[in-house]
A = this chain, B = another copy of it.
Amino acid sequence: MFILVNLKAYPCDPIEVATAAKDVAEESGVRIAVSPQAADVRRVAETGVETWAQHVDPNDYGSHTGSTLAEAVADAGAEGTLVNHSEKRMKLADIDGSVRAAERAGLETCVCANNPAQIGAVAALGPDSVAVEPPELIGGDVSVSTADPDIVEDAVAAAANVDEDVDVFCGAGISSGDDVAAAGDLGATGILLASGVAKADDPRAALEDLVAPL
């Protein structure tokens, strides 16, 4: 199970969360990564934690102002990137371009989508993984362990129908170790979460709770 902590644009201390994530990963043996804003990738990566970008643009080197070049975040220490997060929806052709840009820069990719049909669609673009973010679970109090289990299972089936090598992550509805275990039981091999750790009073304790059942 892979745990990716998205720091979004929260007013948290990225270094505090990164250090906690690195320590809990080492102590538990669970793979944990932290995804800060582009401006913080380098200092988060310097803590030694696995670091992911929140987005990369589809462009190559060149005349592009205000873009996030895949090579730039890779050079800063990122090892992977989210693409098409529900808060950064992209055109299909640009999702394809960003996956290609990330591959070119050696970044692992996780492409987000809303429902099983879109999960099948993004799986066809050949990313390393996809994350299903059911709208009914995003930002709410409903956890994936209590919601309709079809949501994740159908996403896993949709991805497998297109490409069996694409991992499926659960991109919403996770706030406890029980949720992580439930996502795993439904076929997810990773989870995305954000406020449950990034806005926790004690990020380290929140991470320890998440990995406890693993």
Binding site for B on A (CB under 8 A): 6, 8-11, 37-43, 54-55, 59-69, 71-73, 75-76, 82, 84-96, 113-115, 117-118, 120-126, 139, 158, 161-162, 194-195
Contacts and interface: CB of A to CB of B under 8 A. Distances in A.
Nearest to A159: B124
B93 A118 contact: yes
A121 B139 contact: no
Given A39-B42, A42-B39, A122 B65 contact: no
Contact of A162 (B10, B113, B161, B194): B161
A120 B66 contact: no
B64 A8 contact: yes
Contacts of A95: 92
Number of copies: 4
Nearest to A90: B91
A90 B92 contact: yes
Given A43-B42, A63-B8, A63-B194, A91 B89 contact: yes
A94 B37 CA distance: 19
